[in-house]
Amino acid sequence: MKTLKERELKMISWDYVDTELPFNSLDRLSHMKSMGSKGWELVSVSSNPVNACHVYFWKRPVNEGVKEDLPTKEPLGVEISRDELNTEIEEKKLKNSIVVNHDKGSQKISASYYKKFPEPQVVMVVKYRPKDNCFEDFRKELYRRDYPNVIARHMGFNKEKEFVCISFMENIDAALDLEGVGTQWLDSVDHLLIKYPDGSRTESFSGPVWGWFPQYENLKKYESEIKAFTVLVVKIKNTQIEEVKNLILQPSKAPNKLFTCIAQYRDTDDTYIHIGLDTLKDKINANKYFMNSYDKLINAKVIPEMSREFFSDAEDFVWFNTKYLE
């Protein structure tokens, strides 16, 4: 049996680096080949609207004593604050796009790619609260993670600088696996986090998906728009449960522009999770949801004062599992 020291020697250490290319660059393929020839593996791709560029996140195993071939010709990624981002959005109306990492290069998430993803069966929502002086450190740790059993993960942070991650999975086993891996990862970033009043490092909930309604035409039409997502926890009146389910599970009535996901809140029968992805300018927050969704038919059937808006803000990062695109 191997000793602990022997097992530790087998662990892989990684170098990380990020690069940028303008949104309109035609050199993506050569850039990918250049980085690949130096041993760099693409982890994910995000967007930097301020600089109008895509940010590429790379990793490669650390070889003892070897530090050459770090990218020097490509500019490094620039971290920006939420206040700066919102200012640039309002002043310049810059466009954003959801992109995905892929072994053969980066691709915009289009309707055709979305159709390759299986319909999620379980959704998990987690909120983290990093310490004030640890915001960027936690952000980097969160975004560099891989999720082998997750279809997609949408992430953002609010004005209180709390991060929210929405994970879509195709079965309950994947959700249980993510919980186990998540606990180990939380231990590694514990020093970066503020605990919630109940002593937990996260605020989280999950549940089986009742309805998944992607708007394929809009995903294509608005793929270059800045995205925002909203998470609501909605309490149903006990006498109206079946009527509300009939309303919220009609695809033609789904109010969100890009996709809507309806899931059971934990193990309750009278509470559900609404997750919607929109363009930022058309974001449906709690006020819009209760005032305008489903032609106001839902208003008399739920209890808004016992419901809550868990998150509603711009999307900062998205991760997609490349195995579904192969």
Nearest to 324, CA basis, from 145, 166, 107: 107
Indicate whether 74 pLDDT > 90: no
For residue range 29-62, list pLDDT tens digits in order. Answer: 777 878 888 888 888 787 765 566 778 888 888 7
pLDDT at 61: 82
- State whether residue 36 is helix, strand or coil: helix
Please give the Cα distance from 178 to 239 (Å, whole number): 35
The beta-strand segments (E) located in 62-119 are 99-100, 107-108
pLDDT at 44: 79
* Domains parsed from the chain with CATH numbers: 12-108 (no CATH), 122-320 (3.30.70.100)
Residue pair 89/280 in contact by the 8 Å Cβ criterion? yes
pLDDT at 180: 63
Indicate whether 130 pLDDT > 80: yes
Note the maximum CA span of the chain: 68
Indicate whether 298 pLDDT > 70: yes
Indicate whether 209 pLDDT > 50: yes
Instruction: Please give the model's pTM, rounded to 2 decimal places.
Output: 0.66
Report percent pLDDT > 70 for the chain: 74
